[in-house]
Structure 1
Amino acid sequence: MQLPQAQLAVLEAASADDAQSVDALAAATDLPPETVTGALFALEEEGLVAVSEHVEESITLTEEGETYEADGLPEVRLYEAALDAGADDTPAQMGQVIGASGLEGPQVDIALSNYARKGYGAIDSGELTADSDADPDSDPEAAALLAIAPAEGDDGVSADDLELDDEVVDQLERRDLLERQESTTRSATLTDAGVTELMAGVETAETVGQLTPDLLTSGDWRDAEFAEYNVEADAEERHGGRMHVLRRTAERVKEVLVGMGFQEMDGPHVDADFWINDCLFMPQDHPARTHWDRFALEKPSHIDDLPDDLVERVERAHREGVGEDGEGYHSPWDEDFARALALRGHTTSLSTRHLSGHQIGEIEPPARFFSVEKAYRNDTLDSTHLLEFFQIEGWVMADELSVRDLMGTFEEFYAQFGITDIEFKPHYNPYTEPSFELFGTHPTTGELIEIGNSGIFREEMLEPLGVEADVMAWGLALERLAMLVTGAEDIRDLHGSLADLEFLRNAEVIY
């Protein structure tokens, strides 16, 4: 019997009595472990050796996990700072507590997102409370980090040696605080056939492992015997780049709306409160316009250029109303407040800029416009809310529009994503009448989640903008649409510091 030199060396080093690992055989034959592995697979196929495999999982802390093991989890540090601020008795200002905690950058978002989840307290309207009964010393995630860190070596800690709850380990992995790696240890023993062949004598077969220029130019490749390759051997896992699931959902949304006859619009992320709220007939003393719900700019703090005639008409609508029966709000209206700059809380500021004719010029009905852009709100973080998110803005300008037209538009739009069970609920908006919210059924949990807000723009909004036709409009949540089509149960799995990379690698968007 003839065998390639590497296979013969491994066969002669193997034992019929004791299983020997790949590393042991590599040391005995002075061959690389990968060469030994390939030889073993080939010998196993010939029935000369028996190969056994043992898979072991090891756990190591990431750099971020090591930091939290040493300094404490962000949510624990936030809780301790809240106690120091007396938040267990009376609510404390969130910014004050964050400053006292020493948290910075992404750690702030991480602390806020896990604070309520773990029962340390509640966050509401910029204020923070602390539950005096909470016990950070028994935090299972902190305990898990502590259990992994002391014994951690180059190869990590064996998962079999750790008595940890699987859910806790999964949560730490989602937070990118630990990494789990699987290693396969292979061992081999000689079979009876292998022993027999060795006793009968095995010779070295001269084989070529690589086609070289010399073999080609000399013509020796015609007579050479090439080594066989096992194309089914294990290979290192590689993750190629791909478009993010939200970007793919956004591109699909754009394709659908363009196919429905819409044009895309854009505009500034930072804008004056005038365009964001005042043009929407949103009273200046509305709670949503306070500093708790918006991100104001410090420098520059105000816009210089606003159309004077439009400012005058909008102010008159706020103070006096529109039409014979209009009354307005009879509430304070300050032009300096209208000029204040902030990150837009919704992309409807793009609609007011376009409808007024100040963005691309006067628009005549019928017209359809949309955008898929980012908005920013000081919301409480949870499974369906983030501080920044993408909004699908849209409006249609035409004569004699009705709620039936609006509902039909939504049914047509969502049907393109396989969603046919949209539900509607009457709602109040300062800028639309009638108004309603949209809800969709989550494919995994079966729960109804809000996916958008809509209505017919009120006369008090349209008249100052110089629009004489009807306008139906909406703001839909891109992330929540992505949740419906991918089955994601938490918006934070899609993007942010806690994004689930494994989910993002495999999630598909319905086309």
Structure 2
Amino acid sequence: MRLPHAQVALLEAADADDARRIDALADEAGLKPETATGAAFALEDEGLLALAEETVESATLTDEGRAYLDEGLPEVRFYRGAIDAGADDEPAEMGPVIGAAGLDGAAVDIALSNFARKGYGKIDSGAVSADPGADPDSDPEAAALAALADGESVADEDVLAQLDRRGLVEISETTVRSARLTDDGVTTLMAGVEVAETVGQVTPELLTSGEWRDVEFAEYNVEADADEVRTGKTHVLRRQAENVKDTLVGMGFQEMQGPTVDADFWINDCLFMPQDHPARNHWDRFALDQPAQIDELPAALVERVESAHREGVGPDGEGYHSPWDLDFAKALALRGHTTSLTARHLSGEALGELEPPQRFFSIEKAYRNDTLDATHLLEFFQIEGWVMAEELSVRDLMGTFTEFYEQFGITDVQFKPHYNPYTEPSFELFGRHPETGELIEIGNSGIFRPEMLEPLGVDCDVMAWGLALERLLMLVTGAEDIRDVHGTLVDLDFLRSEEVLY
């Protein structure tokens, strides 16, 4: 019988009595693991090898687990701090114990939650009592971390599960295959097997010489496992941004750019946002310290904007009658929305005076001091857009959104009336999540008010919007948490596998 070299080598390395792992057979036969796997499948098809497979779990330390391996588990450090504070004799105040343990931030809560669970002591009304008989040196979780770091396995499944719940290890599953000689395989080996000289690929020489007609080509098993190759690829959110850019350019829009750090004047004052608005306090914005203010602002524009804030515009105008301070207007901050770019362009500061009709957009980052959750991050990408033209209406605004979202397969956008200081009428946009079925907010829109446009020197209608790129991605891909896409909790498997199509 004639077989390819890899199959002969694997057949000779296999055993009729004991199933051996294919990676061990590959090592003995001098083959690459993937080559040996392909040969094993071919030999199984011939009835010469019997294959078996099992799922094997393996655990690796996370960054937090490695940190605890070096520094000690927080609860162990807390116990030792309690001993140092004499809490094994009489209760000690928690503050000095935390200080003696060198704990801060989230590590304090972790230490407290595990201290009593492991029987190291108890906490009652802020007083810490430590069990003098506890033995932190034999802590099973610490021992498991050390074993995993040394490449050993952990036999106690409960300990491993606890480490997994704490986020100190990452458990993965792999499929391990083993092979054993069948009776036919033994008979074939006893009868003798010859190595068939086969060709693995077509070369220019084979084609030009005509030898390809006479050679024997190796068979390929397209179902055989292969190494997973993880090459670099464009981030899923960047691909979505490129799709949005292509769509808006196709709809006749031009891209605009501007500073990430800008004066509050451009970020808020030009948008008719009162200076005492809650969103402008230091809790909601990221202000700069060095430098703290922009060098200069266009004086005539500043005067018109201040007048609109104080007195309104037109004969029946009503301003806010609230404080307006130039120093606050000059204060620098990370932009909370990219509408600051719109203000710069409409005022003529960016490109000079613009004549209608005009269509502009940007896909840039904005920064807000929000509470982190599945739909909020401290930084996010905003799809800013606006149209300047005569006699624009709400129908024009809604029609633009309908056309835009249809490009991404989203046909059920819903509108909800809303209040903005700078648009009237105003609408929030909602889309239905394809997995959860919930309506999520995907943007804000409206037609700019005269109190914003007149100081900027614009005497026609402007409709505008700010859409969330990450939430569009959620509707397109079914992602349920934007923290999986970017940030410290990013889901690498999602980034490696997800496709963005439109």
Instruction: Please state which band the TM-score falls in when normalised by the shorter chain.
Output: 0.7 to 0.9
Q: Does 1:269 align with 2:269?
A: no
455, 464, 469: which is aligned to 1:464? 455
What is the Cα deviation at residue 47 of structure 1? Answer: 2.6
The answer to whether the 8 Å contact 1:261/1:368 transfers is yes
The answer to whether the 8 Å contact 1:266/1:350 transfers is yes
What is the Cα deviation at residue 340 of structure 1? Answer: 0.6
Tell me the SS of whatever aligns to 1:152: helix
Match for residue 51 of structure 1?
Answer: 51
Separation (CA, whole Å) in 1 of partners of 2:148 and 2:163:
18
Tell me the SS of whatever aligns to 1:44: helix
How big is each residue's C-alpha offset from its partner over 1:299-336, in whole Å with a ceiling of 9 and x where there is no partner?
11111121111111111111111112222111111111
The answer to whether the 8 Å contact 2:417/2:426 transfers is yes
The correspondence of residues 160-239 of structure 1 with structure 2, limited to 5 A, is 162-163=157-158, 169=164, 172=167, 178=170, 180-189=172-181, 191-199=182-190, 201-202=191-192, 204-205=194-195, 207=197, 228=218, 230-232=220-222, 233-239=224-230
Match for residue 245 of structure 1?
Answer: 236
Separation (CA, whole Å) in 2 of partners of 1:443 and 1:344:
31
How big is each residue's C-alpha offset from its partner over 1:472-505, in whole Å with a ceiling of 9 and x where there is no partner?
1111111111111111111111111111122222
432, 442, 451: which is aligned to 2:423? 432
Separation (CA, whole Å) in 1 of partners of 2:229 and 2:24:
28
How big is each residue's C-alpha offset from its partner over 1:111-165, in whole Å with a ceiling of 9 and x where there is no partner?
6xx99xxxx8xxxxxxxxx9xxx9455899xx9976852431655647x862489
What is the Cα deviation at residue 364 of structure 1? Answer: 0.9
The answer to whether the 8 Å contact 2:49/2:179 transfers is no
Decide which moves more: 254-263 or 143-152. 143-152
Structure 1 residue identity aligned to 2:145: A
The answer to whether the 8 Å contact 2:423/2:448 transfers is yes
Match for residue 306 of structure 2?
Answer: 315
Per the alignment, do residues 144 and 258 of structure 1 end up closer, same or farther by CA in structure 2, a change over 3 Å counting? farther
Structure 2 residue identity aligned to 1:424: F
Per the alignment, do residues 206 and 275 of structure 1 end up closer, same or farther by CA in structure 2, a change over 3 Å counting? closer
Separation (CA, whole Å) in 1 of partners of 2:237 and 2:6:
50
Normalised TM-score (structure 2): 0.78
Match for residue 330 of structure 1?
Answer: 321
Q: How many residues align?
A: 451
Separation (CA, whole Å) in 2 of partners of 1:255 and 1:495:
22
The answer to whether the 8 Å contact 1:381/1:387 transfers is yes
Match for residue 499 of structure 1?
Answer: 490
Match for residue 127 of structure 1?
Answer: none
Per the alignment, do residues 332 and 183 of structure 1 end up closer, same or farther by CA in structure 2, a change over 3 Å counting? same
The answer to whether the 8 Å contact 2:347/2:456 transfers is yes
Separation (CA, whole Å) in 1 of partners of 2:163 and 2:440:
27
What is the Cα deviation at residue 427 of structure 1? Answer: 1.1
Structure 2 residue identity aligned to 1:187: A
Match for residue 145 of structure 2?
Answer: 149
The answer to whether the 8 Å contact 1:69/1:145 transfers is no
Which 5+ residue runs of structure 1 have no aligned equivalent?
78-99, 104-110, 121-129
Match for residue 401 of structure 2?
Answer: 410
Structure 2 residue identity aligned to 1:202: G
Separation (CA, whole Å) in 2 of partners of 1:296 and 1:313:
25
Separation (CA, whole Å) in 2 of partners of 1:4 and 1:14:
16
Separation (CA, whole Å) in 2 of partners of 1:206 and 1:395:
70
The answer to whether the 8 Å contact 2:237/2:470 transfers is yes
Structure 2 residue identity aligned to 1:296: A
Separation (CA, whole Å) in 2 of partners of 1:461 and 1:23:
70
- Percent identity, aligned pairs only, is 63
Separation (CA, whole Å) in 2 of partners of 1:322 and 1:72:
65
Structure 1 residue identity aligned to 2:157: L
Structure 2 residue identity aligned to 1:311: V
What is the Cα deviation at residue 195 of structure 1? Answer: 3.3
The answer to whether the 8 Å contact 2:424/2:448 transfers is yes
Separation (CA, whole Å) in 2 of partners of 1:438 and 1:343:
25
Separation (CA, whole Å) in 2 of partners of 1:504 and 1:206:
44
365, 368, 374: which is aligned to 1:374? 365
Separation (CA, whole Å) in 2 of partners of 1:342 and 1:245:
28
Structure 2 residue identity aligned to 1:441: R
Decide which moves more: 63-72 or 453-462. 63-72
The answer to whether the 8 Å contact 1:60/1:156 transfers is no
Separation (CA, whole Å) in 1 of partners of 2:319 and 2:51:
84
Structure 1 residue identity aligned to 2:444: N
Per the alignment, do residues 167 and 329 of structure 1 end up closer, same or farther by CA in structure 2, a change over 3 Å counting? farther
What is the Cα deviation at residue 188 of structure 1? Answer: 1.1
Match for residue 94 of structure 1?
Answer: none
Separation (CA, whole Å) in 2 of partners of 1:443 and 1:164:
37
Separation (CA, whole Å) in 2 of partners of 1:8 and 1:424:
68
Per the alignment, do residues 400 and 56 of structure 1 end up closer, same or farther by CA in structure 2, a change over 3 Å counting? same
Match for residue 273 of structure 2?
Answer: 282
Separation (CA, whole Å) in 2 of partners of 1:293 and 1:343:
11
What is the Cα deviation at residue 365 of structure 1? Answer: 1.3
The answer to whether the 8 Å contact 1:297/1:342 transfers is yes
Structure 1 residue identity aligned to 2:340: S
Structure 2 residue identity aligned to 1:149: L
Structure 2 residue identity aligned to 1:272: A
Normalised TM-score (structure 1): 0.77
Per the alignment, do residues 469 and 50 of structure 1 end up closer, same or farther by CA in structure 2, a change over 3 Å counting? same
The answer to whether the 8 Å contact 1:60/1:148 transfers is no
Match for residue 60 of structure 2?
Answer: 60
How big is each residue's C-alpha offset from its partner over 1:325-350, in whole Å with a ceiling of 9 and x where there is no partner?
22211111111111111110011111
Tell me the SS of whatever aligns to 2:147: coil
Runs of 4+ in structure 1 off by over 6 angstroms are 164-168, 208-211, 221-227
Match for residue 18 of structure 1?
Answer: 18
Match for residue 386 of structure 1?
Answer: 377
Tell me the SS of whatever aligns to 1:151: helix
Structure 2 residue identity aligned to 1:58: S
Structure 2 residue identity aligned to 1:46: E
Per the alignment, do residues 383 and 148 of structure 1 end up closer, same or farther by CA in structure 2, a change over 3 Å counting? farther
Per the alignment, do residues 434 and 229 of structure 1 end up closer, same or farther by CA in structure 2, a change over 3 Å counting? same
Per the alignment, do residues 444 and 68 of structure 1 end up closer, same or farther by CA in structure 2, a change over 3 Å counting? farther
Separation (CA, whole Å) in 2 of partners of 1:285 and 1:144:
56
Which 5+ residue runs of structure 2 have no aligned equivalent?
78-101, 119-138
Q: CA RMSD in A?
A: 3.9
